[in-house]
Amino acid sequence: TIDLTQFRTANDYMEAANNAEEMQLIETCFVGWCKQIEQVLAESDQMRKEADDIGPKAELDHWKKRMAKFNSLLDQIKGQECKAALGIMIAAKSKLIKRWKQLDTQITDSANEAKDNVKFLYTL
């Protein structure tokens, strides 16, 4: 493993990007994060199996849980470790950046959808 909190500046990112051993560790970590995020997104996209007459309270509870899940994920992505890893990947011009940006967009969209639905359902 690698302590990503040690990388704080653009110079730190460049040094890590030019170190093959560190890059391998960071890319492995990055790929693991991507797979975990993809799993969370896939699970969230699966159909809910509930009765048709569940009512607004159950619907609100579902969206509140989903909102909490995605907000937590967004908080982690905004954390120092993810920022450092992303900075290093950008400095290294890694091909994984495109995949990461797509996942980041999907997470943000899912969080916003959940927030909007919670706001709407509170009005009922």
* Cβ neighbours of residue 62 closer than 8 Å, sequence gap 6 or more: 48
Q: What is the distance between the alpha carbons of residues 1 and 85, in angstroms, rounded to a whole number?
A: 13
For position 45, what pLDDT does the model report?
80
| Distance, CA of 41 to CA of 108 (rounded, Å) | 11
* pLDDT, position 48: 67
Note the pLDDT tens digit of each residue in 43-65: 888 766 666 667 788 889 989 99
23: which 2 tokens? 């890059």
Answer yes or no: are the C-beta atoms of 104 and 57 closer than 8 Å. no
CA–CA dist 65, 9 (Å, integer): 36
**Residuewise pLDDT in 10s, the chain (124 residues):** 789 999 999 999 999 999 999 999 999 999 999 999 999 999 888 766 666 667 788 889 989 999 999 999 999 999 999 999 999 999 999 999 999 999 999 999 999 999 999 999 988 7
pTM of the model: 0.85
* Cβ–Cβ < 8 Å for 107, 72: no
Give, rounded to a whole angstrom, the gap between the first and last alpha carbons of the chain: 49
